[in-house]
Structure 1
């Protein structure tokens, strides 16, 4: 009855029939507050047309646009939103419409606004929100505002869209011109990109081929050239190209490093070999000087022999050890063998002398000249060694005693030696030397007399005949040769097409050949011909020689200018000069010096000495700066080692400091060549140890994180297998969550995210189950107090029947204790019965009916999640109340059910008929709530 009255007297805009509500909506005035509130409620109506009409009546553009995605298929919604956003309808100001358009993402609506908007800024704002290039093409071709068309054309970037725009744009020449310019730019960019890619691929192929090639002198320069060419390209390479480049560059650097290592080892080997050769020379020179000293000494003593023997022993030991390291050359070995022979001769002579020295001393004392001669001959002392003083005295006695014998004259022997030399010159073909020697020997040979001179004279006569034959032969050969040379030089003088350089070279060769003939077959006519042709050539080459002299003077000035530049640089060197730059200056200076060639001969030596001194100064400066850099790098190594040993500083700070040290290392130049590699190895080893500590720390941290994830996985598995059976087990869930919170923070990775998602689902399911268990426990408590509820109903009936109202005692009705949640409700029920006048008024009955229905609908929402159609107004009212209560204090589902049950017990006095009307549905709801979900 109450619901029927409410429907009869309710406003027409709340009528169940949508057509009635729609007609009533037209009568509502949004200017009046009550009717405006009704329109707002109708804006939440479930009927689309009613909701649209209410929003249009309210002129609420924001809500209209917000609800548009839910009514995407409804054309009326779209048209209404479009018209109001474009400004053709409605009263929304432009600024608010622009703000709404700036947040839109619907392409169809944005296109319509860009085409139909009542303001340029509004259209541009809609165009700004568009993202698809087909929309830009449409706007650039069909929009009625030129600024919008141009803006849309500016945002088109793809070649396909630009071609389409160029084909369809017929209204705006600027749009066409812009499309053509962009297409041209795209084609140019594509050609440039293709060219860059082709260059990179060409460079990569060259670099990869270079990386596979063996080392050669230009290997490093070609690699640096390819590297500079690669870096000079503007377009960045792809990831694959970058990897290929780094791999090829690494191979090239390995080849260079391998060659440098081999070259360094070779230089060290050469230096070691030179040191060995120098040591050998010193040893040989020492023993040779000692042997020579024995030949020129005033007398030979025992100390000299002992010294020689000790030096020979040292030579043998050192020579063998040096030969094991590096075998000696043939010439050095011959010197060694000759020195040993001389040593053996000396030692053998000394041993013979030691054997007969006593006998000679006795013979001298006895003045036995025969014995003295015998012992001196037996000793056979070498002539090139100074004899001992006693032997020298014995030889003097022997020479004084022996009479002189006739010997060949010294002149005959000397002439015989000259004749031998004369024959040797003839055999070699040295005509001039042989002729001069013959002219000197002939008078002396002719003066010789006697039988001993006849063989020598016959030999000289025979050799003279050979000299005459050689003279005739030279004349026979030299005559045609001179004629040939005269013809050649005359032809050369007449040749006007030969280059001056070649002409000078051929002229010099002919003059050299002419001079080599000497006086063989010489005549004045040929000499005059040759000299005249030569003078003609000299006259012709005079301008060329003057030009060559000018070039030599210019080259000399260039070398002097180069020297002055280098001297200026060396006089005021920069304190932080990079040795690599100085090395480059040195190499370029050498190249320029070779370029300025030739120079005048009389000044080449002077300027050469000047350049040599400058090179030595420049090299000294390079070595000085390189040594300074080496000291700085040693300091960096010490700092890196101190960072490695400083365990108080955090590892991250030490790694950052190490990277800064690496940057400083790269900023410095190179240390001396032999020291750079050793310093770099030491620095890299120290840095690698620090980075190894970082990696170990990372591995340890990753292991700890992995351990955390494993523990979390174990807790999740335990929580998943745990199935609560009582509401009191919520403490177990709390303990699980506490254990999980102790593992935080967790690492951010795919496994952690997956475990977090699984954990959230498990916690949500467990909380839902505990909530259901708590609800079931609450319903069980309700079932346990049903006798008390029935006692209250019976007491209410007695009171409503006119009897004296009585308070119900819970202890008498219930066998156990009354739960605390129902204690206050029980007292309120008794108090309401005792204070309510009977019989009940219609207003009181309507209030009881409305309260009971509200509790039923509320409980139905919690149990089923839905209500019957007739209870929709109550559902809306209850949901509004729940929302209002949830703003300040969020209530759980079990708490709401407890509140409903307590309110149900406290509601009274309740007529039995009214209670029986709702009791069955309450029982069904209680049965549903009492069901416990399966594990």
Structure 2
């Protein structure tokens, strides 16, 4: 019975029949609290249709979205959600719809919103939630808004999707162009990536090959070049490539280190060898000086020999010690052997002299000259060494005896020597010299009558016969030769086609051969014949010889002019003359000197000496300038070394200065031969050290930039995970921005650009949320003032009724202190109430109604972003005022809402009917403003 009564008297929206409930639902008014509660109850009904109808009646978009999530295949729910989110149905403000769309992930719903949304930002928000490239292609090709099409096209990155977009997007040229540009960029990026990979692989192969190669002079330079090329590549290397690169780097550095170690060891060995050579040279010079002093002495004593023996013993010990460490060079070893040979000869001679000294002294006391001669011969004292005093006396005695014997008889030994010379001349065929010597020897031998001269006379006779035979032979040979020379010179004189130069050369050769015959087989007819032909040739050569003389004079003047030019240059040389240019002048002068030949024989020697002196002076000037350049280059090396050790100046400035010094080095000429390569090696080594610092600095800077990017990435991730919950958390965002500013500027690359875009998006989202939180706090402050507002409304009614009212005290009505922003408005409301007389006139009531409507429209703009059609004029006026105020100062949304609410508090006295007419919509707008989207 109770159930029947309950069904009979229960509301129709609780009827068991779904159709009855649906009909009753359509009659419920959501504006009535009771009926609104019924609608909320029906949102949990068992029928999907009733739930959908109840949610539509309540305009509950959040409930619609939640219900659709459970029924993704239900078209009714899909259409309902789409109509509400796109703005076709319902009164949901744009900001809330954007926030809801930003949380969606269902592609069908997002595609529909992007295609049918009533606001560009709403469409773009829905598009930003789409991730499938097929959906993006559909939006880029079929969306009715160009900005959405372009945004969708920009998000397509896949090559196949871009090709499909290029085929289907025919209605929008910009989309086609964008797809074509992206395809081109993808191809370029792929080519660039392939090229980078190829370059890295090629560099790796070169570096690995270089690492396995032995050291050579350009090993370090090539290694640094390959390392710089690797670092200059923009695309990062793979892990395997990086491992191979590091392994090759270690191998190359090991090769360089091993070479440096070997070079240092070699240099130390060379230094020790040089020191040993220097010590040997000094020891050997001491022995050689002692031997030379011994040779130049007037006589040799036992003390000299003892000193020489001691020095030789010391030299032998030191020489053996040094030879055990480093063997001597061939030159110094030869000098050592030569000096030891002399030493041994002198010591053997002194030993022989010591053995024969006493015997020779006895023979000298008895004037036994044969015994003295025998002992001196036995002693065999060296000729280059001064003999001892006793030996010198013995030699003097023998020379005196030989002089006495020579005065008695002609020197047979001298005659023997002359005969030997005579025989030698005959063997050579020197007829004239042999004939003169025969004429001088024959009278000398004829005067000798002793037996010892007979062999010499016989020998002279035999040689005289050979001389006569030689005379006959010369005549036999010279006769045909003279006839041949006459025939040759006649043929030469008759030859009219031979060139003058060849004719002169052959003529001189024939004359020389004729003169070489001397008087052998000479006759007047042949001599006259030869002379006549020679005169004919000379007569024919006179014009050529005259021309040749002129050419020689011209060459002589050219040589003298060349000498004058060079002397002028040398008398006033430029202070900064380039030695390379001077060397070029020297070489060209040599070539010109050779070209200016022949010259007259009389002046050739004098002008040659003059040119030789000039060349010597020019070479001195070249050496002087080269030495100056060498000093300048040594100064440049010192400057580079100073820059290398200068830690106060920035590295970039030092590199710039080093490049300037390199430019100065190139502008200078060459240093003296032998120094240029050493100076260049030292200069290049110093520059390479500085450039190595630059490379190390670049590597350090790259690592620092990488760390900077990593820190920025961590900061962005931290900001992304942070969601503010109170408006006063704006300081946290400021702290994040300060940290980000400390990490800036970031290096320019794709990663940093992406970071900047992501950071900007996060900051924009967090600022928007903080703004919404600030607005919510402002609304909460207003809601806390409701007791004060109600008191003002009640007091206004009393004042409008003509009753006396007291001033409203905010402190007695509120639990907290009245906010500063509303203090002035509260006082203005009290003052306005006291100053207004009841009842209000029609004009005052109209003005009050207009002000209240204006505040409502202003608040609607801030809450919904749109107004009703009837409020469009007010919206335009408010927009103009907002633009004018924005020119002077920019206000936040929360500050603008505070100003509107303060003006609303100050507006009065307010009739109750007018207030109740607007208060519901005002409360609805404030409720919307107080909603904060979920993080």
Distance 1:516 1:280 in 2: 54
Using the TM superposition, give the Cα deviation of residue 526 of structure 1 relative to its aligned residue in structure 2, in angstroms: 3.5
Using the TM superposition, give the Cα deviation of residue 932 of structure 1 relative to its aligned residue in structure 2, in angstroms: 1.1
Using the TM superposition, give the Cα deviation of residue 929 of structure 1 relative to its aligned residue in structure 2, in angstroms: 1.9
CA gap of 1:362–1:625, structure 2 versus 1, over 3 A, is closer
Distance 1:529 1:922 in 2: 153
- Structure 1 window deviating more from structure 2 (917-926 vs 458-467): it is 458-467
Distance 2:481 2:286 in 1: 54
CA gap of 1:345–1:585, structure 2 versus 1, over 3 A, is closer
Q: Determine whether 1:327 maps to 2:325.
A: no
Name 2:564's counterpart in structure 1: 564
Name 1:485's counterpart in structure 2: 485
- In the alignment, is the contact (CA less than 8 A) between 1:636 and 1:665 conserved in 2? yes
Deviations 1:296-325 (A, max 9, x none): x6x764356557767978998999999965
Name 2:494's counterpart in structure 1: 494
Deviations 1:199-255 (A, max 9, x none): xxxxxxxxxxxxxxxxxxxxxxxxxxxxxxxxxxxxxxxxxxxxxxxxxxxxxxxxx
Using the TM superposition, give the Cα deviation of residue 537 of structure 1 relative to its aligned residue in structure 2, in angstroms: 1.5
Alignment TM-score, normalising by the size of structure 1: 0.55
- In the alignment, is the contact (CA less than 8 A) between 1:800 and 1:839 conserved in 2? yes
Name 1:95's counterpart in structure 2: none
Distance 1:596 1:368 in 2: 75
Q: Determine whether 1:878 maps to 2:881.
A: no
- In the alignment, is the contact (CA less than 8 A) between 1:376 and 1:394 conserved in 2? no
Using the TM superposition, give the Cα deviation of residue 694 of structure 1 relative to its aligned residue in structure 2, in angstroms: 7.7
Distance 1:895 1:599 in 2: 111
CA gap of 1:676–1:395, structure 2 versus 1, over 3 A, is closer
Q: Determine whether 1:602 maps to 2:602.
A: yes
Distance 1:467 1:389 in 2: 50
- In the alignment, is the contact (CA less than 8 A) between 2:626 and 2:672 conserved in 1? yes
Name 2:763's counterpart in structure 1: 763
Distance 1:453 1:482 in 2: 42
Name 1:894's counterpart in structure 2: 894
- In the alignment, is the contact (CA less than 8 A) between 2:283 and 2:315 conserved in 1? no
- Structure 1 segment 52-67 matched on structure 2, within 5 A: none
Q: Give the secondary-structure state (helix, strand or coil) at the position aligned to 1:605.
A: helix
- Structure 1 segment 128-277 matched on structure 2, within 5 A: none
Distance 1:348 1:828 in 2: 142
Name 1:538's counterpart in structure 2: 538
Using the TM superposition, give the Cα deviation of residue 877 of structure 1 relative to its aligned residue in structure 2, in angstroms: 0.6
Deviations 1:250-307 (A, max 9, x none): xxxxxxxxxxxxxxxxxxx9xxx9xx9999999889857955x68xx6x764356557
Aligned-residue Cα RMSD (Å) equals 5.8
Alignment TM-score, normalising by the size of structure 2: 0.55
Using the TM superposition, give the Cα deviation of residue 892 of structure 1 relative to its aligned residue in structure 2, in angstroms: 1.2
- In the alignment, is the contact (CA less than 8 A) between 2:489 and 2:530 conserved in 1? yes
Distance 1:278 1:485 in 2: 66
Q: Give the secondary-structure state (helix, strand or coil) at the position aligned to 1:932.
A: coil
Name 1:593's counterpart in structure 2: 593
Distance 1:622 1:903 in 2: 98
Deviations 1:863-921 (A, max 9, x none): 22222333321111110111222233322111122222333444455556555554454
Distance 2:832 2:688 in 1: 87
Name 1:932's counterpart in structure 2: 932
Name 2:773's counterpart in structure 1: 773
- In the alignment, is the contact (CA less than 8 A) between 1:376 and 1:395 conserved in 2? no
Name 2:727's counterpart in structure 1: 727
Name 1:129's counterpart in structure 2: none
Distance 2:663 2:792 in 1: 90
- Structure 1 window deviating more from structure 2 (825-834 vs 558-567): it is 825-834
Using the TM superposition, give the Cα deviation of residue 495 of structure 1 relative to its aligned residue in structure 2, in angstroms: 2.5
Q: Give the secondary-structure state (helix, strand or coil) at the position aligned to 2:330.
A: coil
Using the TM superposition, give the Cα deviation of residue 549 of structure 1 relative to its aligned residue in structure 2, in angstroms: 1.9
Distance 2:433 2:474 in 1: 14
Distance 1:907 1:713 in 2: 52
Deviations 1:390-449 (A, max 9, x none): 567889999999xx99xxx97776666555555544554555555665676678889999
Distance 1:419 1:836 in 2: 171
Distance 2:856 2:526 in 1: 149
Using the TM superposition, give the Cα deviation of residue 513 of structure 1 relative to its aligned residue in structure 2, in angstroms: 3.0
Name 2:718's counterpart in structure 1: 718
Using the TM superposition, give the Cα deviation of residue 633 of structure 1 relative to its aligned residue in structure 2, in angstroms: 6.5
Distance 1:694 1:280 in 2: 53
Using the TM superposition, give the Cα deviation of residue 805 of structure 1 relative to its aligned residue in structure 2, in angstroms: 7.3
Deviations 1:513-555 (A, max 9, x none): 3333444554444333332222222111222222222222222
Distance 1:791 1:699 in 2: 74
Name 2:379's counterpart in structure 1: 381
Q: Give the secondary-structure state (helix, strand or coil) at the position aligned to 1:859.
A: helix
CA gap of 1:668–1:395, structure 2 versus 1, over 3 A, is closer
Name 1:302's counterpart in structure 2: 302
User: Structure 1: which 5+ residue stretches go unaligned?
Assistant: 1-72, 74-268
Using the TM superposition, give the Cα deviation of residue 724 of structure 1 relative to its aligned residue in structure 2, in angstroms: 0.5
CA gap of 1:456–1:542, structure 2 versus 1, over 3 A, is same
- In the alignment, is the contact (CA less than 8 A) between 1:349 and 1:379 conserved in 2? no
- Structure 1 window deviating more from structure 2 (486-495 vs 518-527): it is 518-527
Distance 2:573 2:364 in 1: 82
Distance 1:730 1:502 in 2: 112
- In the alignment, is the contact (CA less than 8 A) between 1:356 and 1:379 conserved in 2? no
- In the alignment, is the contact (CA less than 8 A) between 1:489 and 1:530 conserved in 2? yes
CA gap of 1:313–1:799, structure 2 versus 1, over 3 A, is closer
Q: Give the secondary-structure state (helix, strand or coil) at the position aligned to 1:723.
A: coil
Using the TM superposition, give the Cα deviation of residue 772 of structure 1 relative to its aligned residue in structure 2, in angstroms: 0.4
- Structure 1 window deviating more from structure 2 (345-354 vs 277-286): it is 277-286
Name 1:350's counterpart in structure 2: 350
Using the TM superposition, give the Cα deviation of residue 770 of structure 1 relative to its aligned residue in structure 2, in angstroms: 0.5
Distance 1:452 1:360 in 2: 31
CA gap of 1:347–1:629, structure 2 versus 1, over 3 A, is closer
- Structure 1 segment 467-478 matched on structure 2, within 5 A: 477-478=477-478
- In the alignment, is the contact (CA less than 8 A) between 2:474 and 2:520 conserved in 1? yes
CA gap of 1:387–1:283, structure 2 versus 1, over 3 A, is closer
Q: Give the secondary-structure state (helix, strand or coil) at the position aligned to 1:872.
A: helix
User: Structure 2: which 5+ residue stretches go unaligned?
Assistant: 1-145, 147-272
Q: Give the secondary-structure state (helix, strand or coil) at the position aligned to 1:380.
A: helix
- In the alignment, is the contact (CA less than 8 A) between 1:799 and 1:806 conserved in 2? no
Name 1:526's counterpart in structure 2: 526
CA gap of 1:305–1:725, structure 2 versus 1, over 3 A, is closer
- Structure 1 segment 330-729 matched on structure 2, within 5 A: 347-358=347-358, 373=371, 380-382=378-380, 420-430=420-430, 433=433, 477-573=477-573, 581-624=581-624, 672-673=672-673, 712-729=712-729
Name 2:77's counterpart in structure 1: none
- Structure 1 window deviating more from structure 2 (356-365 vs 596-605): it is 356-365
Name 1:19's counterpart in structure 2: none
Name 1:185's counterpart in structure 2: none
Deviations 1:615-634 (A, max 9, x none): 44444445555556666667
Higher relative contact order (CA 8 A, sep 6+): 2
- In the alignment, is the contact (CA less than 8 A) between 1:730 and 1:770 conserved in 2? yes
Distance 2:361 2:464 in 1: 57
Distance 2:314 2:511 in 1: 59
- In the alignment, is the contact (CA less than 8 A) between 2:290 and 2:308 conserved in 1? no
CA gap of 1:325–1:546, structure 2 versus 1, over 3 A, is farther
Using the TM superposition, give the Cα deviation of residue 329 of structure 1 relative to its aligned residue in structure 2, in angstroms: 11
Q: Give the secondary-structure state (helix, strand or coil) at the position aligned to 1:490.
A: helix
Aligned residues: 650
Q: Give the secondary-structure state (helix, strand or coil) at the position aligned to 2:526.
A: helix
Distance 1:602 1:314 in 2: 62
Q: Give the secondary-structure state (helix, strand or coil) at the position aligned to 1:561.
A: helix
